[in-house]
Chain A
Amino acid sequence: MSDRDGLTSRYLAGIATPAEHAELLRELQDNPGSLTQFRDELRMHLALAAYLQPADAGVVAASVVRVPQGPTPSGLQRIRGHVKPPVRKRAKAARLANTHNRRPWWWLSLTVAACVLVGMYVSVRPAVTCGHIVSVVGSIQLRRNGEAISSTIGTQLRPGDRLACTSTGTVIWQDDAGAELTLTDGAVTCVAMPKRVTTVHSGTFHAEVVPRAAGDSPYAISTPTCDVVVLGTAFTLTVQALQTDLLVEHGRVQLSRTGTAEQTIVGAGEHALATPTSLTVVGPVVHEQPMTAFRLSQDQEKSPRNLAWGQVAPTPDQADGWCLQGVTVEKNLEIYLANSDSSAELFTVPNQGVLSFRYFASEGGNLLSAFALNGTTGKSVSVAITATTFGRWTTVQIPLSQFVVEGFQDPGFRPGDQVKNLIISADPPERNRIFLIDDILVTGLTKTMVPSVSAARP
């Protein structure tokens, strides 16, 4: 039996050690042939389990269901209520095996009494909460005492809850002191007030912490490599196992390296890096000033609308900006850029100008289009691409020379043309998918135009 066979058999038998598990995972990731063979063996393992498992290893307990008349919604709901989760025979066997070793009869009475007392205590005792969920996008999971529970807007968070989201998920929660915390691509545990200590294991964490009242504990965040204490500020942490990136938007943050006395103060606009061996403040970060989208409209409605439909949200993977976020429902995401003085041009086409922006899609295959009105020729011009990547931020760069007159193949722009407006449009193929656009830029301009009206921050 080869090493891989041995690892597979131990994994399927449930006796693989963590090291063996990791070794098998590496083998399967690196070798497609191994993965195919593993799947064949897994298939056989599952098919045997399905075939040999007794037919009464419960899926549905239907004999007690009584539906008085037709399949009304309530009747069906009752059927659903009687569908039982599968009970593993193993547990049943273990219970049967214990029957020879019965406890005395009074043990049951004592247990029931104890349960009643505990139940009364739990029902009377006010539940300690430390915040609630205010927004959910994509897949997130809330675990309480090791079990997944419903996580919707308004769900109260309790000390010790573990909140996690996938790479495409975002969750915003507010603690009881008003701090708003955004979590993307990572995991967080919130711990009891008034200590206000949050542990971030990984991922991107954005916090807007309100100034504390006298006597309140400062807000503290712990990561694998550092501890952060804040008094009232906005900042973003990007946490990895061996590195934590901190970017402070405003306010001041005290940063100390885990397990050491080394600490520093990070000010507004500064960027700090904490590793197990060092703590470095990189200094103020200079960002290229993006042209800011200021109106968001639905393409079916030609008149631009304000941001009520979409919402502005922090970028999942970058601390230095905001993006327009739209969870597409039935209509397209469309970002409209123009000069606030509608009679003036947005920009003049340079010799080698490039339109660039970043997008984040939860699914692939989105159609991305850019439309513009060439004020010099009076013609509408456009360019379209298919956004194939998903699950990560991707930068798109489109030379302005690729724009064509709509309906023709003639070049859409010539150097010196005045552009009146620019529309970035995304057409996700499915409903309820996340599509984000950020950092819209036109490079190569001799004069940078920044619209005077900018997107409102939340």
Chain B
Amino acid sequence: MPDLPNPDATALDAAALDACAKRLAAGDASACEELVAATLREVRIFVAAKGSSRDLVDEVVQSTYVTAMEHIADYRGPGVIIPWLKGIARNELRRLLRERAKWDTAFGGDAIEALVASVAVVGLDTEEAHWHDERLRALAHCVGQVAEPGRRLLDHCYRDGWSMEQIAKASGSSYEAVAQALSRLRKKIRACIDQQAVRT
């Protein structure tokens, strides 16, 4: 199972990330890969918690790193590279959510996504606390608690990117049954995360 960056080791990690940023700013492009590998998952989850679709999350994360690479010389540490990236991501989110909110069906877009984007952009700053670090840690814990065959279903859907057709075929179920099973799993994980958050 993939691990989130270990929040307990932030001092060391942050120093290493700062070193990456410094190398990158000095023109060492190999540092780019290291920086992205070390921060991608956290930035991606941060964006996902505020996004309106998977495409938008991909687009925001992409733009975030492009902007970060372009302005890496402006980074002033120490130890805040992830907050810095999240700040860029928030700005990109705001821009793209506004676009999505406007670009609805007239452009062949999804009216539901436009609706969600219009609400999400309003709550972009106020809903900050909804997915704080504790919840991210809880997400890792709760996904780890999911037993087979639920875990396999999650992996096929989210890790392997299987289509519903592939999942239904592999599991011998109907689309409807797979969609319902996934929905139940999401609810279960969310309840687990809420419980964890209360405990901490």
A-side residues, CB < 8 A to B, are: 1, 5-6, 8-15, 21, 24-25, 28-29, 35, 38-55, 59-60, 62-63, 65-71, 75-76, 79-80, 83, 85-86, 88-90, 92-93, 139, 141, 143, 164, 166-168, 186-187, 202
Contacts and interface: CB of A to CB of B under 8 A. Distances in A.
Interface of B is mostly: helix
B103 A141 contact: yes
B30 interface: yes
B162 A93 contact: yes
B18 to A, nearest CB: 16
B54 A49 contact: yes
Given A15-B179, A51-B143, A55-B40, A86 B154 contact: no
Contacts of B131: 43, 47
Given A50-B45, A52-B2, A202-B106, A60 B33 contact: yes
A143 B58 CA distance: 21
Contacts of B41: 50-51, 55
B161 interface: yes
A62 to B, nearest CB: 4
B61 interface: yes
B102 A166 contact: yes
A13 B182 contact: yes
A35 B25 contact: no
Contact of A54 (B57, B62, B159, B176): B159
Nearest to A21: B112
B163 A59 contact: no
A1 B180 contact: yes
Contact of A65 (B29, B45, B155): B29
B179 A10 contact: yes
Contacts of A67: 27-29
B164 interface: yes
A46 B49 contact: yes
18 contacts: A13-B178, A15-B175, A43-B49, A46-B48, A46-B57, A48-B158, A50-B47, A51-B2, A51-B140, A52-B143, A62-B32, A67-B28, A75-B27, A76-B70, A83-B69, A166-B102, A167-B102, A187-B106
B49 A62 contact: no
B27 A68 contact: yes
A222 B154 CA distance: 49
A60 B58 contact: no
B164 A14 contact: yes
B132 interface: no
B159 A50 contact: no
A9 B112 contact: no
Given A46-B57, A48-B143, A13 B179 contact: yes
B183 A8 contact: yes
Nearest to B31: A62
